[in-house]
Each structure stands twice: as C-alpha cells, then as structure tokens.
Amino acid sequence: MTSKTYTVTAINIKSINYGEADKIITVFTKEDGILKVIAKGVRRISSKFGARIDLLHCNRLFLTKGKNLDVMSQAETHVHFPAFRKDYDKLMQALYWAELIYVFCNEGEALPEIFDLFLNSLDILQKGTQMPLLYTLWFELKLLEHIGYSCNFTHCVSCERVITREIENFYFDLTSGGILCPSCQVLFKNIKPITRELYLTLRKLKQFSSNDISSVSINEKVEKNIECIQDFYQTYVCYLAEKKLKTISFLEDSKI
C-alpha cells in the first residue's frame, strides 16, 4: 500500500491567493525540487499555520497527495529568518534569490546541493554585515555554477588563452559566460565591456567558499562599484533566463 502522505524540507519561494481563504504556495524542497502545494484556510485569522506560510520560511512539511495539488496538512519550522522582517534591503535581495531559484530550477527535480546553497546563503545574508548586494553576487555566481553556467574568468572562452590581470580592457561574452582575450573579442557580437575592478571582484568572489563570504570585508572602491557590478551581472542572469525577473523591476522602481 502506498502512503498518501509524505514529508519534505521546504523553503517557501512564491505564493498566490486561491479561493476564499486558501493559498497556492510554491516551495523549493530538498527532496523533490520545486513543488506547488495548496495550503487550505491559511488566510483566516484562526489558521494554525501562522508565519510558517510566509515567504522564505523553511519548514518541515507534511503533505497529503491531492488530485491536482498536494495539500499542506502540517508545517513545523525548520529555519526562519527574522532579520529579513526588519531589513528591507536584505528582504528584497532574498526575494530576488527566491525568484532565481524559481526561474532556474525545475519542478519535481531534486537539487539537494542547490537547496543547501540557498538555505546556507539565506543564513549568511541574515547574519551578514556587508552590503546585501555583495552576498547576492556571490549567490548568483554559485547558483549558476551548480546549474551548469559556471563563468570562466581565468581563460579566454574562445581560444583558452590565460587571461592575465594585466590586460587593460576586459570583455564578457554573454553567450558563453566568460571573458574573451583581446584577440578574440573582435570575433564576438554579444559582448559587454567590463572594468578591471569589476573583473577582479567577480574573479575573487567566484573562488570564495561560504566561510570566506561569511567573514569577508570589502574595500571602499569595491563598495562604491558594487551596484554597477550587480547591474552587469543581472544583465547576464536575465540573458540566461530569457526574461527580466519581476523582482529586478521591483527593485528598480523602488530606487526612484
């Protein structure tokens, strides 16, 4: 006899209201990747789920197989991130990460390493004392590496020549996700020039472990350029996603 209930560890990444009092919650689970589940009656004040249905909350979920969507029958907090409630910048970055997971990970495909990266990175962001954007850049680099879009910053992506730090003008090829040497850059059309500072920062960040990024301190020059670095990197992310992410538009609107 097959069990109609099962448990997963899941981070809430998206939710929409459904019917009179329900919500359809998209969760990123360690066991089954992305799942859409229905949480019944959770918009009523008397709901037993409370903050456990909030975005970015990580729960141990007890799910019952349903006809269309599986039903959330019980949720126990596994990890939560109270710092995001008090820090708008951190919250917005974390929601952007959740959208990256939604866009780049597939429904029903278990990606336990990415789950651990996401959960660990949320904790680093929650505790971090540096600009939230710095952690975002690191998270993007690591996420893309896990899903097969690892950026090559050490060798020319075309001729494989070693890229030395002495080169004056760097060009990033959006199609292959890497740096082009001066001889190859003329052969490619989908390229973006990047500054030396940006190149060195991305190269350094890519090598950082979670311990490195947790204890990192950045110099003033990098801090001043971090928005420009992230603008550049978001262009690459949107190119891969083949669309502009909703949270990016929201972040841009909130700057005005």
7, 47, 154, 158: which one contacts Zn ion (CB under 5 A)? 158
Q: Considering beta carbons, is residue 141 or 156 the nearer one to Zn ion?
A: 156
Q: Considering beta carbons, is residue 53 or 181 the nearer one to Zn ion?
A: 181
181, 191, 202, 213: which one contacts Zn ion (CB under 5 A)? 181
The CB-of-176 to Zn ion minimum distance in angstroms stands at 11
Q: Considering beta carbons, is residue 33 or 178 the nearer one to Zn ion?
A: 178
From residue 170, how far is each of 23, 148, 150, 204, 208 by CA, in Å? 47, 23, 18, 15, 21
The CB-of-198 to Zn ion minimum distance in angstroms stands at 19
Site for Zn ion, residues 183 to 222, rule: CB under 5 A: 184
38, 111, 156, 205: which one contacts Zn ion (CB under 5 A)? 156
The stretch near Zn ion (CB under 5 A) out of 97-105, 127-135, 159-167, 215-223 is 159-167
DSSP one-letter string for 75-143:
EEEEE--THHHH-HHHHHHHHHHHHHHHHHS-BT---HHHHHHHHHHHHHHHH--S-HHHHHHHHHHHH
Interface positions with Zn ion (CB under 5 A): 156, 158-159, 161, 181, 184
